[in-house]
């Protein structure tokens, strides 16, 4: 039996250049529309995370005050004995270190506070006072105070 081979060229499976360009154009449009929304969501998540961390730090500082009798001079006293606190029973933070804000900066702390017994705040994404949006300060007190 003789096998005949066909001389007609076979069409190989794949995409044409036009099909690839159309897909890339659609992906570009989606990235242009969805990208800013995703970035806005990430920014608001960091702001909410900072607010929650400030609340946790305030609660931990209250525990410190109950045991020692006064608020510490710095947040470092929550993880290492300041030397002037005879009833120190720490570390008061689980990870053994003072957390940084979501942008990698230290939280600001003042005791006694100007807005309450203690003031805790983050300077936001820009690391400077004031700002709007993700750059705004996140504080342990209300903005109207």
Please say if the pLDDT value at position 10 is more than 90: no
Q: Does the pTM exceed 0.75?
A: no
CB atoms within 10 A of CB 85: 16
How does pLDDT run across 112-123, given as a tens digit for each residue? Answer: 999 999 999 999
Please say if the pLDDT value at position 35 is more than 90: no
């Amino acid at each position: 039996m003789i096998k005949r081979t066909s001389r007609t060229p076979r069409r190989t499976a794949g995409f044409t250049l036009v099909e690839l360009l159309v897909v890339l154009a659609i992906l570009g449009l989606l990235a242009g529309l969805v990208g800013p929304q995703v970035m806005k969501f990430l920014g608001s998540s960091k702001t909410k995370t900072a607010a929650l961390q400030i609340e946790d730090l305030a609660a931990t500082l209250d525990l410190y005050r109950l045991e020692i009798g006064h608020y510490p001079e710095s947040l470092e006293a929550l993880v290492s004995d300041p030397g002037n606190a005879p009833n120190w029973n720490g570390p008061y933070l689980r990870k053994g270190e003072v957390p940084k804000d979501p942008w990698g900066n230290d939280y600001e702390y003042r005791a006694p506070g100007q807005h309450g017994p203690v003031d805790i705040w983050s300077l936001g994404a820009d690391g400077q006072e004031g700002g709007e949006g993700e750059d705004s300060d996140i504080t342990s007190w209300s903005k109207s105070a």
